Amino acid sequence: MAWHRPLYHRFAWAFDLVVRDASAGRVRRLAALLRAHGVRPPARILDAGCGTGNYARALARLGYRVVGVDRSVRLLADARAKTVGAGPVFVRADLTTYRPAAPFAAALCRGVLNDVLDDRARDAVCATLARAVAPGGVLLLDVRDWRPTAARKRLEPVTERTVRTPRGRLSFRSDTRLDPTRGRLLLREEIRLTSRRQSTVARNAFVMRCWTWAELRGRLRRAGFTRIRRVPAARVALPGDRLFAVAVSAPGRAAASSCSRTR
């Protein structure tokens, strides 16, 4: 399971070293989309699946009030450690069951839903996002697009990276096989940390399930979003194997039951 990836737990401190971050330039484009939908600072924004908090912090620097939610204790600890002064609030929760205390003007969900494998869980996360966003609010979401992802992985099945860290030399390797019948990526990862005193190795095998536009649009619509449109990935500085959706929560839709409570 992706949930058991060492990068989410034991090696969470190295996540940003292995998964290269392009949030700085991308956030400007995401913020432009938010403004185009009337979401301006100091509006409340949910960063669903915030990881180490790069997007949450960048949006907070623009004046938004951000709540970052993630399931990983280690990633959240890293997110809090990297936050200086007033910034986002980070909350541990599972996105299939998360209930915000008050609705958000917008939600961001970046590259998270590929780790959600079964249909019920996918619907549950989409329902969570719909409850979290106030009627008329906007969701910005991206996932892996099966066809271009499969084409890319056929050509480049192996990813390798080596970086020097204060703890030693960190080597990362990921091997991907395709499961075309189910639109899945079968991944094996190895992380090796070598210092003068010792060498530590962590290995994990897990699955990612990609998406199609028809599935993404259908699940968002059933969850209560309207005006669901696909935006070219390049417009928000994403790779070409991503699906990027902008969806508006149905005006007049009943807000989440928890929205009547105060935080």
User: And the tokens for 157?
Assistant: 């099945």
Long-range contacts of 38-46 (CB under 8 A, 24+ apart): 39/105, 39/106, 39/137, 39/138, 43/104, 43/105, 43/106, 44/102, 44/103, 44/104, 44/105, 45/104, 45/105, 45/106, 45/107, 45/108, 46/100, 46/104, 46/106, 46/107, 46/108, 46/129, 46/132, 46/133
Distance in angstroms (rounded) separating the CA atoms of residues 50 and 71: 9
- What is the pLDDT, as a whole number, of residue 249? 94
User: And the tokens for 189?
Assistant: 């990862």
Are 223 and 109 a contacting pair, CB within 8 Å?
no
What pTM does this model have? Answer: 0.91
For domain 2-145+212-250, the CATH class is: alpha beta
Average pLDDT, the chain: 92
Tokens 């599935």, residue located? 215
pLDDT bracket for residue 19 (50, 70, 90) = confident
**Range 226-249 average pLDDT:** 96
Residue ranges covered by each domain of the chain: 2-145+212-250, 148-209
Tokens 């990921």, residue located? 174
- What is the pLDDT, as a whole number, of residue 2? 56
**Range 84-94 average pLDDT:** 92
Q: Give every CB contact of residue 14 below 8 A, 6+ residues apart in sequence.
A: 7, 163, 165, 170, 172, 191
> Tell me: domain 148-209, CATH 2.30.30, correct?
no
Q: Tens of pLDDT along 146-158?
A: 999 999 999 999 9
Q: If we measure between CA atoms, which residue out of 51, 217, 225, 57 comes closest to residue 135?
A: 225
Sheet holding 65-70, edge to edge: 89-92, 65-70, 44-48, 104-110, 133-144, 242-249, 225-231
- What is the pLDDT, as a whole number, of residue 50? 96
Are 82 and 53 a contacting pair, CB within 8 Å?
yes
**Range 184-202 average pLDDT:** 95
